[in-house]
A and B are shown apart, each in its own frame.
Chain A
Amino acid sequence: MKKAFLAMTAMLLASTLILLGTVAYYQKKVQSFVSPEGSMKEYDHHYLFVSADRSGMMQDVFKAASESADRAGGYLEWCGSGTDNSYTEAECINISIAMRADGILVCPDGSNDLADAIDRASDAGIPVVTIMRDLPDSKRVSYAGVSGYQIGELYGGRLISMLHEGINDVCLLENKGTGKDDTQLLYTKMIQSVNSGAPSGKTIKLRTEEVDNFTDFDTEEVIRNLLLGDHVPDILICVDSIQTECAIQALIGYNLVGDVQVIGYYATEPILHALRQQLIPVTMTIDTAQLGEDSVQALDEYRKLKRVNSYYNIALDSITPRTVDAYIEAHELGEEEEDPLS
C-alpha cells in the first residue's frame, strides 16, 4: 500500500512537472515570437547611413557609428538595407527625407545629383555628414575622414622603400566619382614625397586607372585587364578593401607575386592574411571606430547646437608583414588558419 502510494505520488509529481514544463515551454516559445526582444530598446533619434560602398571597411565604419549612435540614444539604419532595390545615394537621401530622419551619414559615391539631394535634406532640416569622401560644395554640415594630402604623404613614404632602380610604373586605382580636388591633392603629395625621399636613380611614373563602381565584378575585371595587359605596373595602389582583395587574388591567380607590388587599403581578413604570407608589402588602414564615432558625434553636435566642426580628421596608418601580428593582437582579431583566399 505504501509502495503503491509512493508510486502514485511520484507519477502525479512527474505528470505535474511535465505539465508545468510543457506550459512553460509553450509560453516561452510563444513569447519568443510575440515579443522577440524582451528588452527592446527605444531611441530618441533616427539616423540614416547612406553608402553605395558595402566593403568590409564601410561595414566596420557603420558598425562603429551604430554603436556610437546607440550610446547617444540614436538608431542608425543603413538606408535601403532589407530591400531588394539598389538605390542610389541620392535616392537614399530622398528616402531619408521622406522618413523624416534626424540625421544622415553619407559616403559620397561621386554621383552628380548627390549634392542636390544633400541640399534638399538640409532644407528639410536634416543635417548631413559626409564620411571618407567629402562634398564641400553641398550643404553637408561636416566631414569625417582622411584628406588626400594625408594619403598622398603616407603612400609616398611607403613607395620610396619599394622602388627599384630606374623608372617605376605606379598605377593608382581610382574610384569613379572621387572628387578631382582630392585626387589631385593625393597625386601631388605622393609625387612630392617620392621625389623628396627617393634615392637618385629611382623615379616613378604615376598613372591612374578608374574603377567604375563598387561592385566586385567590375573591380576584378579592371585589375585583371591591368595585370594581364601589355603594361603591367610595378606597383599597384588600391584605395579600398575590395580593390585590395581583388588584387591579391589576381597576384595569386596569375602568379605575379613578387612581380607586382600591391599597396593595399584597409585591413580585412584576407588582406591581413596576405600580409602574413608576405604577398603584399603594406596596406593602409584608418581607424574605423574613430570615424564612426566622430561622424555620429558631428550629427549629435549639430542637432543640439546647430553648428559643428566642418572637418573631423581621422588617423591613417599602415600595416606591414612585420607589424601585422601586433595589429591582429591589438584589435583582437582571430585570424583563421584556413587560407581565406583559397
Chain B
Amino acid sequence: MKRSSKVPFSSIQSRITLVMAVVLAIVLLVNIFVFRQSSSMVRRAGRIFETNSTIIKLSETLRSTQQSLYAYLSTKSSGSLEDFYRYEQEVKDRTETLNDQNVSDATLMLEKNIREMSDAYLDTAEDAVQARRARDVEEYKENYGRAFSLYGYINSYIYALNNTRFEQNTESYQVLLKAMNVMEHSSIGIILAAIVLALAAAAFSIRDMVRPLRNLAKSADRVAAGDFDTEIPESSLHDEIGTVTNAFRGMLISIREYIERQRDSMETEARLKETEARMKENELSMEAHLKDAQLKFLQAQINPHFLFNSLNAGAQLAMMEDAGRTEDFLGHMADFFRYNVQKNGGNATLQEELQSVDNYIYILNVRFAGDIHFAKEVEDGIDEAAIRMPSLILQPLVENAVQHGIHDDHENGRIVLTVERADLGETESGREAVRVTVADNGAGMTAAQLKEIGTKGSGSGIALGNVISRLQLYYGEDGLFSIWSDGPGCGTVVTVLLPLKQERRE
C-alpha cells in the first residue's frame, strides 16, 4: 500500500479504471462532437427558410397596409387609420432588416429595391392619407394610384425575392442535406473508429497488465509439473501482479531450499537405513550361525539318540543283573543325552541346566575315575526352577573348562560353578539378573585368545560362539557373556548373566 501510494495508478484496479475512463472519454468526446455537429446542422436547417418566412410576413403586412389605406380612404374611419399606422410601422420594422447597401449580390439588391420602394410606398400612402384628411380628393386619388402602382411593383419584387430566396434556400438545404449525409457517414465511421481504437487501446493496456500474470501462470504450470528450477525474475511492477509475482518467486525459492533440506535429510536417512540394513545383515548372519550350530547339533544328535536308547537298554540290563553302579552310570548317561535331545534349540530352567551339568560331571568322573573336582554353589533364595534360560548353555561352559582348562592336570584342577544374584545395572538393560560363573584354575588364556573369543565367539568349536549368540538372541541384549583370564596358567572365569522376568519364549 505504501508503494502504490507513491506510484500513481500502480494498482491494476486504478490502471483498468484509468484505461476505461480514457476509453469512455474518447467515445464520449466523439459523441459530443457528433451531437453538437448534428444539432448545429439541425438548427441551420431550421433557419434556412427563415428568410422566406420573413419575406412572406412582409408581403402580408404590406397587403394589410394597403387594405387599411384603402379602407381609410374609402371610409375615413379612425380604426382603419389606426390599422394603417400600425401596419405602416410594422412595414418599416420589417424593411429595416433588409439590405440597404449597393452590393454585387443580386438578391441583396432585390432587398434594397424592396426597402427603397417600400419607403416610397409608405411616403406616397402617407401623402394620400394627409390629402384625404385635407379633403383634397384629386390629390389623394393621385397618391393612392401611385401607391397602388408601387404596391404592385413591391409585390412583384417581393415575389421575385421570395422565389430567389426559396431557390437559394432549397439549394442550401440540399447542400446541407448532403453535408449532413456526409457528416452522418463520417460520424458513424468516427464513432466506430473511436470505439475500435478505444477497445484496442483497452485490449493492449490490459494485455500489458496481464502479461506478467500470464508469465507467472506459465511459471506456475512448470512448477506444478515439477520444474522447481524455473527462474522467475523479480518484478519491478508495483501492482498486485508484481506483488504476487514476487511472492511466488519468494515461495519458489523457499520451496527450493526446503527441497534441498529434504534431500539432505533423505540422504542422511538413507545412510541410516543402510547402517540398519548392515546391522540386520549381521543379525541375519548370527541367525545363520545358530542354524549352522543347530545343524551341527542335529548331526551330532544321531549318536546321542542311539546312545540314549542303547543306554536305557544297558541300564535295564544292569538292573536285571543287579549291577547298581553300572545302572547309575548308564542312568546318568541316559539323562544327560535325553536332556540334550529334548532341550536342543529350546529353553530350559536353570535347575535343568544345573542337573545337566551334574550329569556331565558324574559321567566324566566315572570316565576319569573321579579326578574332576567340580563344585557348585547356589546362592540361597534363588529359585532355580523359576529361572528360564536357553538350554545347553552351562554344560558347554563346563565342558570347555574341562577340555581346555584342567585337561592336563585333573588332579589339581578345580571347576567351580557359582549361581548368585547379579548387581543392579550389571546388565545393559538394567534388568534384574542371576549371574552364573564357571571358573577353573586351569590353563588360562592369552589376551589374544580372549580378544578372539570376545569379538567372534569362535575358537572353541560350536561352544562359546554358539552360547554367546543364543544368549543375545534369547534376551535381546548384548553383554550377557564374559570371559576373563589373568593369563596362561591362571585359570579362566566365564560369566553368564541371566536376566529375570523374561517371558517364556519358545
Given A83-B156, A84-B159, A98-B150, A33–B37 Cβ distance below 8 Å?
no
Contact between chains at B116 and A29 (CB < 8 Å): no
A15 touches B120 (CB 8 A): no
Output the nearest chain B residue to A47 by Cβ-Cβ distance.
Answer: B102
For B27-51 the 0/1 string (1 means CB < 8 A from A) is 0000001000100010010001000
CB neighbours of A94 from chain B (8 A): 149, 153
Q: In chain B between 132 and 191, which residues have their CB closer than 8 angstroms to a CB of chain A?
A: 149-150, 153, 156-157, 159-160, 164, 168-169, 171-172, 175-176, 178-179, 182-183, 186-187, 189-190
* Bound complex: CA A74 to CA B160 (Å): 23
User: 8 Å CB contacts to A: which residues of B99-154?
Assistant: 101-106, 108-110, 112-113, 116-117, 120-121, 149-150, 153
The answer to whether the Cβ of B197 comes within 8 Å of any Cβ in the partner chain is yes
CB distance from A50 to the nearest CB of B (A): 14
A39's closest neighbor in chain B, by CB?
B104
The answer to whether A12 and B197 have CB atoms under 8 Å apart is yes
Q: With A and B bound together, what is the CA distance between A258 and B159 in angstroms?
A: 50
Mark contacts of A1-27 with chain B using CB atoms, 8 A cut-off: 1 yes-contact digit, 0 otherwise. 100110010011011001101110110
B306 at the interface (CB under 8 A from A): no
A77 within 8 A of B: yes
Alpha-carbon gap, A12 to B116, bound state (A): 56
Instruction: Determine which residue in A23, A33, A42, A81 has the highest number of CB atoms from chain B within 10 A of its CB, and name it.
Output: A33
With A and B bound together, what is the CA distance between A30 and B183 in angstroms?
12
Asked if B201 lies at the interface with its beta carbon under 8 angstroms from chain A, I say: yes
**A32 to B41, alpha carbons, bound, how many Å?**
14
A 86-109 to B, binary, CB cutoff 8 A, 1 in contact else 0: 010001001101111000000000
The 8 Å CB contact of B105, one of A8, A37, A81, A91, is: A37
B102 in contact with A42 (CB, 8 Å):
yes
Please tell me if the beta carbons of A75 and B197 are within 8 angstroms of each other in the complex.
Answer: no
Please measure, in the bound complex, the distance between the C-alpha atom of A144 and the C-alpha atom of B136, giving whole angstroms.
43
Among B101, B178, B186, the residue within 8 A (CB) of A42 is: B101
B107 to chain A, nearest CB (A): 9
Contact A82 B104 (CB under 8 A): no
B182: which A residues are within 8 A, CB to CB?
A: 22, 25-26
- A-side contacts of B176, CB under 8 Å: 29-30, 33
Q: Is there an interface contact between A8 and B201, defined as CB atoms closer than 8 Å?
A: yes
- Does A98 lie within 8 Å of B204, measured CB to CB? no
Assess whether B200 is in contact with A4, with CB atoms less than 8 Å apart.
yes
Name B192's closest neighbour in chain A (CB-CB): A15
Q: How far is the CB of A24 from chain B (nearest CB, A)?
A: 11
Cα distance A74–B190 in the bound complex, in angstroms? 50
- Report how many residues on chain B are interfacial, defined by Cβ distance under 8 Å: 49
B373 CB → nearest A CB, Å:
110
In chain B, residues 76-106, which have Cβ atoms closer than 8 Å to a Cβ of chain A? 101-106
Judge if B210 is at the interface, Cβ distance under 8 Å.
no
- Chain B positions within 8 Å of A11 at CB level: 193, 196-197, 200
The answer to whether B109 and A75 have CB atoms under 8 Å apart is yes
B18 to chain A, nearest CB (A): 17
Interface assignment of B334: CB less than 8 Å from any CB of chain A:
no
Given contacts A15-B193, A22-B183, contact A82 B105 (CB under 8 A): no
> Which one of A14, A22, A98 contacts B120 once the chains associate, using CB atoms below 8 Å?
A98
Q: What's the Cα separation between A23 and B186 when bound, in Å? A: 10
- By the criterion CB–CB under 8 Å, are B179 and A25 in contact? yes
Distance between B466 CB and nearest chain A CB, rounded to angstroms = 86
- With A19-B190, A25-B182 as known contacts, state yes or no: A33 contacts B175, CB within 8 Å: yes
- Which residues of A are found within 8 Å of B493, using beta-carbon distances? none
Known contacts A8-B197, A37-B105; A26 and B183 CB within 8 A of each other: yes
Does A303 have its Cβ within 8 Å of any Cβ on chain B?
no
Contact between B116 and A43, CB atoms less than 8 A apart: no
State whether the Cβ of A224 lies closer than 8 Å to any Cβ in chain B.
Answer: no
Q: Which of A269-328 contact B (CB under 8 A)?
A: none
With the chains together, A197 CA to B110 CA distance in Å? 54
5 cross-chain pairs, A with B, having the tightest CB-CB distances, nearest first: A33-B172, A43-B102, A22-B186, A98-B120, A15-B193
Q: Which B residues contact A (CB, under 8 angstroms)?
A: 33, 37, 41, 44, 48, 101-106, 108-110, 112-113, 116-117, 120-121, 149-150, 153, 156-157, 159-160, 164, 168-169, 171-172, 175-176, 178-179, 182-183, 186-187, 189-190, 193-194, 196-197, 200-201, 204
Taking A26-B179, A98-B116, A99-B116 as known contacts, 6 extra A-B pairs with beta carbons closer than 8 A to each other, sorted by chain A number, are A11-B193, A29-B179, A83-B156, A84-B156, A91-B149, A98-B153
A/B interface sample: 30 pairs, CB < 8 A: A4-B204, A8-B204, A11-B197, A11-B200, A12-B197, A14-B193, A15-B194, A18-B190, A21-B186, A25-B182, A26-B182, A29-B175, A33-B168, A33-B175, A37-B104, A40-B103, A40-B104, A42-B101, A42-B104, A43-B104, A75-B103, A82-B110, A82-B157, A84-B160, A85-B156, A94-B149, A98-B120, A99-B120, A100-B116, A100-B120
